[in-house]
Chains A and B, each alone.
Chain A
Amino acid sequence: MNAPAGLDLASIPERIQSEVQRAIQRSIKGVEYFASSGPSLGSTPKDILAVRGTMNLYHYRPIADEIYRVPILIVMATTNRGYILDMVPGQSFIEFLLKRGYDVYMLDWTAPKPEEKSLRMEDYVLDFIPDCVRRVQQDCGETDVTVIGYCFGGVLSLLYGSIFNDGPMKNLICFTTPVDFREMKLFSNFSDRRYFDVDRLVDSVGNMPPEMILSSFDMLRPASRVTGQIQLWDNIWNDEFVKSYRMFDRWANDILPLAGEYFRTITKDLMWDNKLYNDTMTVGGRAANIADIKVPILHAVAEHDHIVPYDAAKHLITKVGSTDKEEVMLKGGHVSLVAGPNAIKRLWPKLDNWLGKRST
């Protein structure tokens, strides 16, 4: 009997041997997996400049001999932890920026306490961000600050930049930032105003529980958690794969609750009334129109982003008032855009190239 076309019979024993070895490795590494903790994340040396409720401001210790004049303030998404940008040495965006000579600060969030359920959008946009910008200015002695916002941190940065459009923000970089919330179709459907009683929910639970937020993220790709487990088992012999899986899995499950009032505003103003896109957004009674942003802006979007689809993000660059503006679409998804091997070779060098000449 002839072998099927393309099948090399001589390679079969080698293949079987390799599979047997992998099966043995799977058993050994499988036990190791459950017996060991994951890699230590977010370990780039930093100092805590301020802690105020849910707000945490860090300063990463510079490692270059000479740094750019303009410091960077990274504004994290309020649902996620900042260590996605500081995974492990060699895979840390923060470490990359420090090595390239930037002075880096991060506004990161901790879980709002039950008594912080009354935090409103204005507390984030008119208080926490300006407070951090002031502290950055005081700490480094510079007036100008570059703001980088990731996902909803980008939305907060846009709102801040729209209201405080006369400074001190010098540059704005947004990663995967939605503007047209109608285009986040599944989230939009989950929060359909005919069926989703946000007032009742917030009034009964206070802060939005992280389990509910995690479930809504998981529902966007319901099969992926199961297939992720299958892929983990398949590759458990591969230390690099396992390390990467553990890092991203830990981060993806480490969701923060959202302050109740803040969530109510997100639902009503952004999801229901799409005010950011319609240029009718206000924060604490102050108009927040992104056309008022005039500073240089870079928006990085991901080709296969299932959380913030391109249609939801594409209007940012057309709507801002800046003349120096650029959108860059890179291969990858919502997370792999900013962290992991794709980010190391695509986004990070692009960002350095864009920002370096605007940081002097």
Chain B
Amino acid sequence: MADKGNDPAVIWQTMIGEMEKGFNSFANQAMASPEFSKVMNQVGGVTAGAQKQLGEMMEKYLVSMNLPSRAQLVGMAERIQAIEGQLNEIKALLHQVHHNSLAPEGGYGAPRPPRTKRPPPEGEKK
């Protein structure tokens, strides 16, 4: 069998791993400086402001095109999710009231296992 030290695949993987570690370590040192924080936050502040303005412009554009914006679609999705949540609550209440066979297997209204479990004795394999 070939020695692992000479296996090109192993050498390649090791090299990638070392490069990753080296670059991360170098970048982390650079990012730990106050200068980095200053520049990052200046750029970040400008970018966040610009993104917000761009978002507002896009929203106006979409309104003029009679199209929904992403925020509106997300809002719709979340309203549907909220309706689903309310339906689930209603379902739970119905099952609590009726305790009938409509309950999904192991779901609402189904009998729960007894809460009597004890831990296995020390050293026993589970």
A and B bound?
yes
A166 on the B face (CB < 8 A): no
Q: Which residue of B lies closest to A220 (CB)?
A: B28
B31 on the A face (CB < 8 A): yes
Produce 1/0 per residue, B92-121, CB < 8 A to A.
Answer: 100000000000001110101111111110
Nearest CB in chain A: distance from B30 CB, A:
10
List of B residues within 8 angstroms of A11 by Cβ: 1-2
List of B residues within 8 angstroms of A61 by Cβ: 106-107, 110
Q: Is the CB of B34 within 8 A of A192?
A: yes
Q: Is the CB of B1 within 8 A of A62?
A: no
A-B pairs with CB below 8 Å: how many? Answer: 155
Choice from A7, A47, A230, A234 contacting B3 with Cβ under 8 Å:
A7
List of B residues within 8 angstroms of A192 by Cβ: 34, 37-38, 41
Residues of chain A at the chain B interface (Cβ within 8 Å): 4-8, 11, 15, 19, 45, 47-51, 56, 61-69, 100-101, 103, 110-111, 113-114, 140, 142, 185-186, 189-190, 192, 194-197, 200-201, 204-205, 209, 212, 219-224, 227, 230-231, 234, 352, 356-357, 359-360
Known: A8-B1, A8-B3, A186-B28. A62 touches B19 (CB 8 A): no
Produce 1/0 per residue, B50-82, CB < 8 A to A.
Answer: 011000000000000000000100110010011
Question: Number of B interface residues, CB 8 Å?
Answer: 59
Nearest CB in chain A: distance from B41 CB, A:
4
Nearest CB in chain A: distance from B23 CB, A:
4
Show 21 residue pairs from A and B whose CB-CB distance is below 8 angstroms, ordered by the A residue: A47-B88, A56-B85, A61-B110, A62-B112, A65-B113, A66-B113, A66-B114, A67-B117, A101-B117, A103-B112, A110-B81, A189-B32, A189-B33, A195-B34, A205-B48, A205-B52, A220-B28, A221-B20, A227-B20, A234-B13, A356-B119
The answer for the CA separation of A64 and B112 in the assembled complex, in Å, is 10
Q: Is the CB of B37 within 8 A of A196?
A: yes
Choice from A15, A56, A195, A205 contacting B42 with Cβ under 8 Å:
A195
The answer for the CA separation of A231 and B94 in the assembled complex, in Å, is 51
Q: Which residue of B lies closest to A357 (CB)?
A: B119
List of A residues within 8 angstroms of B119 by Cβ: 356-357, 359-360
Main secondary structure of the interface of B (DSSP, over half): helix
Nearest CB in chain B: distance from A178 CB, A:
17
Q: Which residue of A lies closest to B88 (CB)?
A: A48
The answer for the CA separation of A16 and B6 in the assembled complex, in Å, is 14
B14 on the A face (CB < 8 A): no
Produce 1/0 per residue, B1-36, CB < 8 A to A.
Answer: 111011101001100110110011001100111101
List of A residues within 8 angstroms of B81 by Cβ: 51, 110
List of B residues within 8 angstroms of A200 by Cβ: 45
List of B residues within 8 angstroms of A101 by Cβ: 117
Nearest CB in chain A: distance from B125 CB, A:
11
